Homo-oligomer: A and B are copies of this chain.
């Protein structure tokens, strides 16, 4: 079995000048707490603080980054224990699944998932050997043992990871009971919800009525008009804010923004109530609701996030058999200059508003997002998202954006993960790439070390706190 070792200079350029500077900057960056303003961790984990399950259920089954690639190489999802919607049997032996994973672990060489997993194995679980077919069961046992100790309970890891605040992503109709439980528990870890009302915006979807009914229940009033609907959203935003939320989040295929006349909005809503809304109606309604969300954000101070350009559940074959989040979400071309214009002209000149935009279309970095964020006070560019949250991806993000928007119009880092144990790995990777990016600038005498130190701190800590307005309620680390 080959030893697993993380090199202390990993991800830094081999050039000795760059490496020396990167190391120096990184040594400062690593000391900051992790700020996690956007992610998908299940708050129940921290509410109950139960031990994590065995390695396969913890690491493989919930992570579509992992099984996506295994599936692409011809391994059926059934063999990985992914449950089928129709209840047909799938593999249940976690060790068998782990063995398949380990035998195909070479596929992840050069991918961010591989880098994160190596960190998770080496740093979080102190696994001594590289994962492969030979070491598979040894590694499984090793992690299993760790998971049973109190130091590997979720709250203990939260503290060990040095998380300053962790944000979940919650439907508008969520009761936030786990957040309530965490608060009530007296545990001092900060866990905040985030208001993501997508499901009640998608008026053409078959399950829209269901979500609407739930919304009525949560609000305690019936929603018969567009006005009721807006009132319900405002009501829920207020509840989320009370529960510690500082941001909203909106996933859209096309980030179009356009305010409808009140009677148009009402007509669309009535059409939706009758179950007659089309895809085009939904697109209009969403474009309008993004305007409404910006308006409400100006009023209640919640930071607005827009994640644009993912075609969810592209592979209907898989979706029908296994449901959503199974690796079948594929980016499409994005356009922001025309699409965001109405929102930006209307609300974007007001620095009290913050709108953070995320893209999966890297060609928009230098063409659209950097010029927009380098001008409109409200607009900030979210970190390299999803497929691009990687070594080369973050470097492209920095190199393509900074010259036009400056680093100060970017929003710091988001780990955006549902894999709790991968959080420190993701921050570590991003901080290293940012350190290396700055080191490349210093080594070329584009900036000097005093600029670089200020920027390093901003990228690791200050910008995310400022952009998400976290400085308003958590004092900064030294």
A166 within 8 A of B: no
Option from B331, B367, B388, B445 in Cβ contact (under 8 Å) with A11: B445
Q: With the chains together, A18 CA to B440 CA distance in Å?
A: 14
CB-CB under 8 A from A379, the residues of chain B are 72
- The answer to whether A377 and B73 have CB atoms under 8 Å apart is yes
Q: Which of A7, A370, A403 has the most CB of B within 10 A?
A: A403
Query: Distance (Å) between the CB of A191 and the closest chain B CB?
Result: 30
- The answer to whether B344 and A406 have CB atoms under 8 Å apart is no
- The answer to whether A14 and B15 have CB atoms under 8 Å apart is yes
Option from B106, B331, B407 in Cβ contact (under 8 Å) with A454: B106
- The answer to whether B387 and A403 have CB atoms under 8 Å apart is yes
- The answer to whether A387 and B404 have CB atoms under 8 Å apart is yes
CB-CB under 8 A from A473, the residues of chain B are none
A135 within 8 A of B: no
Contact with B along A1-21 (1 / 0, CB 8 A): 010001101111111011000
Closest to A309 in B: B367
- The answer to whether B444 and A377 have CB atoms under 8 Å apart is no
Q: Please tell me which stretch of A167-175, A182-190, A314-322 contacts chain B, meaning at least 4 of its Cβ atoms lie within 8 angstroms of it.
A: A314-322
A409 within 8 A of B: yes
CB-CB under 8 A from A267, the residues of chain B are none
A69 within 8 A of B: yes
- The answer to whether A110 and B71 have CB atoms under 8 Å apart is no
- The answer to whether A392 and B400 have CB atoms under 8 Å apart is yes
Q: With the chains together, A371 CA to B71 CA distance in Å?
A: 12
- The answer to whether B375 and A71 have CB atoms under 8 Å apart is yes
Contact with B along A363-396 (1 / 0, CB 8 A): 1001110111111110100000001101111000
A58 within 8 A of B: no
- The answer to whether A341 and B314 have CB atoms under 8 Å apart is yes
Option from B72, B391, B455 in Cβ contact (under 8 Å) with A409: B72
Q: With the chains together, A2 CA to B449 CA distance in Å?
A: 12
Closest to A409 in B: B72
A450 within 8 A of B: yes
Q: Please tell me which stretch of A212-220, A233-241, A332-340 contacts chain B, meaning at least 4 of its Cβ atoms lie within 8 angstroms of it.
A: A332-340
Q: Which residues 50-92 of A have a CB within 8 angstroms of B?
A: 68-69, 71-74
CB-CB under 8 A from A444, the residues of chain B are 10-14, 391
Option from B327, B341, B349, B408 in Cβ contact (under 8 Å) with A73: B408
Option from B6, B68, B346, B366 in Cβ contact (under 8 Å) with A375: B68
A222 within 8 A of B: no
A221 within 8 A of B: no
Number of copies: 3
- The answer to whether A107 and B351 have CB atoms under 8 Å apart is no
A228 within 8 A of B: no
- The answer to whether B368 and A331 have CB atoms under 8 Å apart is yes
Q: Which of A71, A330, A450 has the most CB of B within 10 A?
A: A330
Option from B332, B371, B388, B402 in Cβ contact (under 8 Å) with A330: B371
CB-CB under 8 A from A68, the residues of chain B are 374-375
With A370-B387, A374-B69, A376-B72 already in contact, the answer to whether A337 and B362 are too (CB < 8 A) is no
- The answer to whether A366 and B341 have CB atoms under 8 Å apart is no
Option from B315, B372, B402 in Cβ contact (under 8 Å) with A344: B315
Q: With the chains together, A362 CA to B444 CA distance in Å?
A: 24
CB-CB under 8 A from A366, the residues of chain B are 362, 387-388, 393
A451 within 8 A of B: yes
- The answer to whether A7 and B445 have CB atoms under 8 Å apart is yes
- The answer to whether A71 and B377 have CB atoms under 8 Å apart is yes
- The answer to whether A403 and B337 have CB atoms under 8 Å apart is no
CB-CB under 8 A from A335, the residues of chain B are 332-333
Q: With the chains together, A400 CA to B72 CA distance in Å?
A: 18
A361 within 8 A of B: yes
- The answer to whether A337 and B331 have CB atoms under 8 Å apart is yes
A328 within 8 A of B: yes
Q: With the chains together, A150 CA to B346 CA distance in Å?
A: 48
A127 within 8 A of B: no
Query: Distance (Å) between the CB of A442 and the closest chain B CB?
Result: 9
- The answer to whether A451 and B109 have CB atoms under 8 Å apart is yes
Known: A12-B444, A314-B341, A330-B372. 15 other contacts (CB 8 A): A69-B406, A72-B373, A72-B405, A109-B447, A109-B454, A110-B402, A314-B337, A314-B344, A330-B371, A330-B375, A362-B366, A362-B367, A366-B388, A387-B404, A392-B399
8 CB contacts below 8 A, A to B, read: A2-B450, A72-B409, A73-B377, A73-B409, A74-B351, A110-B406, A366-B393, A391-B446
